[in-house]
């Protein structure tokens, strides 16, 4: 009997190939745990994509199983959402598409989040390649005091435990001004950093105590400051706050960050990673030689950078 995977990843691609950031992220995760990878292209009849490019990984940092699927469906987001449900996908990977300033329809990522409760991995074009040449050390989680933090915080905490990484909880409070009195009557959000940190520690009671950082600033600038100081390898955010409510789809702030972002829909079931169905406290599994469907293997360049201790 084969061992179930720790993570089931689905790459939503329009050309049956992996972008450099997605490829490196999959290799990074595969070096830590057992990964099953599905690369799906949805044929909407818009254009001819030609011959699929081979999917190559270093054997020591490769998914144990790779499969390719081609689907015919007018709406790509609907097809990927349904495929995620059918296959028990843990994470859909969809990087930022090239920006088209005159394109006013909702982005693929935004439409996908509106149709599924599966977390979405994404990254902007500014993400440096060297980011993935180090192990996962810091998993950050941006909390919003206006929404239930449970699903987001539990997903991030479980992911950090499995990757043997540190959980770093971030929060941004608006500056206190003359308009603050109006919000006090309708919101239970803390006004001061000390109160915010205390509430976060209460939410995390009974679990490993995370590092907590609270900034007082505008939401976008505050997030940029916190991400710059904490240097997370992955940032978890609430999909409703960052993926669905901003005009024109995803916030440019997320795509400009120096780390990948995982958007967790509010309806996502806490503790639903594949590795938690077996043993959430199991030690990190060694990489195994992968089974490949329709792919080849060539050496993946190794290397690294010095990362400051956090």
Q: Where residue 156 sits, what CATH number does that domain have?
A: 3.40.50.12370
**When comparing pLDDT for 231 and 283, which is higher?**
231
Size of the chain, expressed as the number of residues it contains: 310
Would you give the distance in Å from CA 297 to the centre of its chain? 26
Predicted pLDDT of residue 77:
85
For residue 94, tell me if it sits in a domain. yes
Question: What's the rounded mean pLDDT across residues 54-80?
Answer: 86
DSSP conformation class of 126: T
Question: What's the rounded mean pLDDT across residues 225-253?
Answer: 76
Angle, alpha carbons 226-231-234 (nearest 5°): 100
3-state secondary structure of 289: coil
For residue 1, tell me if it sits in a domain. no
Predicted pLDDT of residue 285:
31
Whole-angstrom distance, CA of residue 200 vs CA of residue 153: 10
Residue-number span of the structural domain to which 240 is assigned: 7-292
Give the pLDDT band (50/70/90) at residue 304: very low
Whole-angstrom distance, CA of residue 41 vs CA of residue 16: 6
Predicted pLDDT of residue 133:
65
Give the pLDDT band (50/70/90) at residue 34: very high
Which pTM does this prediction carry? 0.81
For residue 189, tell me if it sits in a domain. yes
Q: Are strands 261-264 and 120-122 parallel, antiparallel or unpaired?
A: antiparallel
Give residue-wise pLDDT tens across range 45-63: 666 556 667 788 888 889 9
The DSSP secondary structure of 198-263, one letter per residue, reads: HHHHHHTTTSPPPEEEEEES-HHHHHHHHHHHH--SEEEEEHIIIIISSTTSS-HHHHTSSS-EEE
Whole-angstrom distance, CA of residue 138 vs CA of residue 128: 17
Distances (CA, A) of 194 to 150, 177, 207, 293: 21, 18, 20, 53
Predicted pLDDT of residue 267:
56
77: left (phi over 0), alpha (psi -120 to 50) or beta: alpha
Distances (CA, A) of 247 to 105, 252, 269: 11, 10, 27
Tokens of 140: 């950050």
Number of domains in the chain: 1
For residue 181, tell me if it sits in a domain. yes
Instruction: Tell which residue, 156, 148, 131, 145, has the closest CA to residue 263.
Output: 156
**When comparing pLDDT for 236 and 56, which is higher?**
236
Question: What's the rounded mean pLDDT across residues 235-257?
Answer: 70
For residue 297, tell me if it sits in a domain. no
For residue 234, tell me if it sits in a domain. yes
Angle, alpha carbons 244-249-253 (nearest 5°): 100
Highest mean pLDDT: which range of 42-51, 157-166, 173-182: 157-166
For residue 307, tell me if it sits in a domain. no
Q: Are strands 65-72 and 291-292 parallel, antiparallel or unpaired?
A: parallel
Highest mean pLDDT: which range of 6-15, 19-28, 52-61, 110-119: 19-28
Q: Is the pLDDT of residue 169 over 80?
A: yes
For residue 309, tell me if it sits in a domain. no
Question: What's the rounded mean pLDDT across residues 109-127?
Answer: 83
């Amino acid at each position: 009997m084969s061992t179930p995977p720790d993570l089931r990843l689905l790459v939503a691609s329009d050309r049956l190939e992996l972008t450099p950031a997605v490829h490196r992220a999959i290799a990074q995760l595969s070096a830590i745990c057992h990964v099953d990878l599905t690369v799906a292209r949805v044929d909407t009849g818009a254009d001819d994509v030609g011959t699929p490019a081979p999917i190559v990984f270093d054997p020591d940092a490769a998914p144990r199983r790779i499969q390719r699927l081609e689907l015919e469906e007018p709406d790509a987001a609907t097809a990927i959402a349904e495929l995620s449900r059918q296959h028990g996908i843990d994470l859909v990977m969809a990087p930022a598409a090239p920006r088209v300033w005159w394109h006013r329809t909702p982005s693929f990522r935004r439409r996908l989040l509106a149709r599924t409760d599966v977390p979405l991995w994404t990254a902007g074009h500014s993400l440096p390649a060297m980011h993935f040449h180090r192990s996962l050390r810091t998993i950050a989680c941006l909390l919003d005091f206006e929404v239930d933090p449970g699903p987001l915080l539990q997903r991030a905490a479980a992911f950090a435990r499995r990757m043997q990484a540190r959980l770093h909880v971030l929060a941004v409070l608006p500056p206190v001004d003359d308009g603050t009195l109006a919000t006090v009557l309708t919101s239970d959000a803390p006004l001061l950093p000390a109160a915010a940190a205390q509430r976060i520690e209460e939410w995390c009671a009974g679990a490993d105590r995370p590092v907590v950082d609270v900034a007082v600033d505008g939401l976008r600038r505050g997030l940029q400051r916190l991400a710059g100081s904490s240097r997370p390898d992955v940032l978890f955010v609430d999909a409703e706050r960052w993926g669905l409510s901003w005009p024109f789809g995803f916030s440019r702030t997320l795509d400009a960050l120096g780390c990948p972002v995982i958007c967790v829909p509010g309806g996502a079931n806490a503790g639903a990673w594949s590795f938690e169905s077996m043993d959430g406290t199991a030690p990190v599994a060694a990489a195994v030689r992968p089974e490949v469907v329709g792919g080849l293997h060539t050496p993946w360049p190794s290397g690294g950078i010095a990362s400051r201790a956090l």
